[in-house]
Structure 1
Amino acid sequence: MTVSTEQDRTLVPPTWPEAAPSPTRLSPDRLRRAKKAYTTRFVAAGIDASPEGYGLLDGPDVTPQPGEVVLARVEAIGMHKRLESPVGRRQTLFPGDEILVAYGHRYAPDQFEAVVPGDLGPAHLVAAGGIAALATDKHRDIEDATAIRPLGLLADAHGVVALRRHASRALLPDTAAPALTTGPAVIGVVGTSMNSGKSTTAGSLIRGLARSGLRVAAGKVTGTGAGGDPHGFVDAGASEVLDFTDFGFPTTFRLAHDEVRAVLLSLVTHLSDPGTDVVVLELADGLYQEETARLLADPLFARVVDRVVFAADGAAGAAGGVALLAERGVPVGAVSGVLTSAPLAMREARSVLDVPVIDTLSLAEPDVATALL
């Protein structure tokens, strides 16, 4: 077991399995100084309240799992030069910084494909929200990933610290589904791909509905943990915002379908307070991303989502997406997104679609947004 500083000493938690290696004690001052990521915000809150009693579990036999928290040292700055803090501030990174992030798989066609490695060897910071993984591929136009060196999994008296254990919300069972039929209207925002305008579409829609006097809640079902979208939804006027990170998942890539399904169900249930009129949900990436594709094909999606606003980056993608959603039994209320930045693209889309094509910013107008209800 590696002892990183002279202040560290063996920590033997009372409930730690006897057969497992013991973590080394992590000094409170060192833990406080570490730059903490958005994905670890609930863990960070506990550390702020009481930084005592934590250790680092390392060694060749330690196998990290998605959602486990790791203390890592920044080795070389690459694509991600800043780390999003628990409150959303962009913290500038320097070589030698110690950061508290979460292991997770990453799916981002415009950035990285990355997987949780099988050991605590060299890894990468693959998302600014605080995701540690091994980058296996990248878009050719971006820099290499920021290199990090994991120093050990964070541990406390109950074992390795995992996000699920500190999550603010718990996943609900399928038995909660029947109650959703009498709840608020639910509008999903789905798109052709990453950067097709989904978040802007969702934010504009929230803004228009809120300006009309409706109480709007918002959520993000799938994606990579980051504060930008949730904070944007609050800024647009959402009364309550939740996403998959509130249930302890740093990302949803490679997440089992039953868990993705449970995230959808739990989000809608938790956001459907008696005073809520509309719930707006965003799904990350595109129709053919594996987790999103399975969720859209699941009958549960059409049961709990009343209609979809589809964000597309071109007329062909819009036509294909609307057709695919129709096959899944998911009604599309409108098409919006990046294509609406170009009048010619909007004209092309309108010529082949029988659903409205609405300029994204126009969704912020109350009469336009409420027409989708």
Structure 2
Amino acid sequence: MQHETIPQRASTVREARLPERLSKAKRAFTTRRVDLGKARRIIRSGVVPVAGDLVLARVTAIGQHRRIENVHGRRGDLFIGDEIIVAYGNRYAPDQFEAIVPTDLGECHLVAGGGVAARMTVKHASMKQPTRIEPIGLLGGTSGSVLNLRDFAMTHEATPFRKAPVRIVVAGSSMNAGKTTTVASLVRGLTLAGFRVGAAKLTGTGSGGDLWSMIDSGAAAALDFTDAGHASTFGLDTGELTDVASNLLAALDERNCDVVICEIADGLLQQETAALLEASKQEGWFDGLIFAAGDAMGAAYGANWLIERQHDLIAISGLLTASPLASREAAGVTGLPIVGIQQLTDPVEVAKLIFSKPPVLKRVA
């Protein structure tokens, strides 16, 4: 990975006691694959940060994120003056922040509790100002290069012959539409049915919540895009998104899963979501898609959007299933099964749903 160099000789500061300093810092979830033993110096000037770069920063003001999630999933309180180890990354979250990787090592923000550093551009009206952090410097290795999450990513090359007989993807109408609950319910039901289930979150912003949910539901193997070297997938081009997804799918194949359940973050109108769904169709990655929606109108629009693009839509799930009336409306307009937690966690019902041939659907008039 090439870093843009400021037109001056890069200056670095070696710290004999760096390992001790890093051991005392609060280390975020996004850095969980990183071997901090490879950090030899703090680079304070001469480079422009890029997504994935590891940074030691100091908390200067507490805002929206009052806690940071560590590599084990524990959320620890933050205090002004705390030193934290996080990764630079872009963020797209309609219910929270949009933020981008800055072009300098000036003060920026903690834009995700899982450990993403960026500079906020806009925020949802319900959000407080983001927690402010002051970068102390980027972590560098023995050669003087900046350590990046990609340096520690797993790599699994896709093969033309997959081992998992069935792969299902869950997409949604928006953030907080019920995708994660749908995935967890699928994993639980299929595990109870006796299948070895693998699960992966292909896009999103680095945080352990969805990963822990998959594991707690019984997944024999669970991965996310941070395993592929990204703190966030916002801003990745289609080729990079394809690399992330194929890497994770190949890794789950190597774990001999019978069924693989994947989640794509955000809603259909989000750029990376739309791009990855299109790539998945071209690559033939998935045997069916379950769509999570918050209401009947979202379900109807989403069903049309997916049918027009020839995805194998097999059911509607999500927050709307909490409402019998909304479920009835969605069923009436889409002609699809509406499945909530009860159906998805039932081993018999979920096996029938997943292993049946997807219905032939027409666009809603």
TM-score of the pair, normalised by structure 2: 0.91
Counterpart of 1:350 in structure 2 is 331
Match of 1:194 among 158, 169, 175: 175
Q: 1:30/1:299 Cα in 2 relative to 1: closer, same or farther (>3 Å)?
A: closer
SS at match of 1:178: coil
Q: Which blocks of at least 5 consecutive residues in structure 1 are unaligned? A: 1-17
Residue 226 (1) aligns with residue 211 (2): no
Q: Contact 1:218–1:238 (CA<8 Å) still a contact in 2?
A: yes
Offset, 1:21: 2.4
Counterpart of 1:179 in structure 2 is 161
Counterpart of 1:166 in structure 2 is 152
Distance 2:272 2:250 in 1: 20
Q: 1:301/1:359 Cα in 2 relative to 1: closer, same or farther (>3 Å)?
A: farther
* Paired residue total: 345
Counterpart of 2:27 in structure 1 is 36
> In the alignment, residue 11 of structure 2 is paired with which amino acid?
P
Residue 57 (1) aligns with residue 28 (2): no
SS at match of 1:272: helix
Match of 2:130 among 135, 139, 145: 145
Q: Contact 2:322–2:340 (CA<8 Å) still a contact in 1?
A: yes
Post-superposition Cα deviations, 1:137-160, rounded to whole Å, max 9, x if no partner, equal 000011110000011001120321
Q: Contact 2:318–2:340 (CA<8 Å) still a contact in 1?
A: yes
Residue 122 (1) aligns with residue 107 (2): yes
Q: Contact 2:280–2:286 (CA<8 Å) still a contact in 1?
A: no
> In the alignment, residue 97 of structure 2 is paired with which amino acid?
F
Counterpart of 2:14 in structure 1 is 24
Matches of residues 185-264 of structure 1 in structure 2 within 5 Å?
Answer: 185-264=166-245
Residue 280 (1) aligns with residue 278 (2): no
> In the alignment, residue 195 of structure 1 is paired with which amino acid?
N
Post-superposition Cα deviations, 1:66-120, rounded to whole Å, max 9, x if no partner, equal 0000000000100000000011100110000000000000000000000000000
* Deviates most, 273-282 or 84-93: 273-282
Distance 1:262 1:140 in 2: 35
Q: Contact 1:221–1:243 (CA<8 Å) still a contact in 2?
A: yes
> In the alignment, residue 206 of structure 1 is paired with which amino acid?
V
Match of 2:278 among 292, 297, 303: 297
Post-superposition Cα deviations, 1:179-226, rounded to whole Å, max 9, x if no partner, equal 23x642000000000000000000001000000001100001000111
SS at match of 1:284: strand
Counterpart of 1:110 in structure 2 is 95
> In the alignment, residue 164 of structure 1 is paired with which amino acid?
R
> In the alignment, residue 166 of structure 1 is paired with which amino acid?
F
Distance 1:262 1:133 in 2: 23
Offset, 1:360: 2.8
TM-score of the pair, normalised by structure 1: 0.89
Counterpart of 1:313 in structure 2 is 294
Q: Contact 1:107–1:113 (CA<8 Å) still a contact in 2?
A: yes
Offset, 1:275: 3.5
Distance 1:26 1:139 in 2: 43
Q: Contact 2:200–2:248 (CA<8 Å) still a contact in 1?
A: yes
Counterpart of 2:69 in structure 1 is 84
Query: Considering only aligned residues, what root-mean-square deviation do their CA atoms show, in Å?
Result: 1.6
Match of 2:84 among 99, 113, 132: 99
Distance 1:66 1:299 in 2: 24
Offset, 1:325: 1.1
Q: Which blocks of at least 5 consecutive residues in structure 2 are unaligned? A: 1-7, 356-365
Counterpart of 2:361 in structure 1 is none
Q: Contact 1:302–1:330 (CA<8 Å) still a contact in 2?
A: no
Q: Contact 1:184–1:272 (CA<8 Å) still a contact in 2?
A: no
Q: Contact 2:173–2:294 (CA<8 Å) still a contact in 1?
A: yes
Q: 1:274/1:105 Cα in 2 relative to 1: closer, same or farther (>3 Å)?
A: closer
Offset, 1:344: 1.1
Q: Percent identity?
A: 46
SS at match of 1:100: strand
> In the alignment, residue 161 of structure 2 is paired with which amino acid?
A
Q: Displaced runs of 4+ in structure 1, greater than 3 A?
A: 299-302
SS at match of 1:352: helix
Match of 1:270 among 226, 248, 251: 251
Distance 2:264 2:192 in 1: 23
Offset, 1:26: 5.8
Post-superposition Cα deviations, 1:246-287, rounded to whole Å, max 9, x if no partner, equal 011110000121010111112211112473210000000000
Distance 2:88 2:249 in 1: 26
Q: Contact 2:10–2:47 (CA<8 Å) still a contact in 1?
A: no
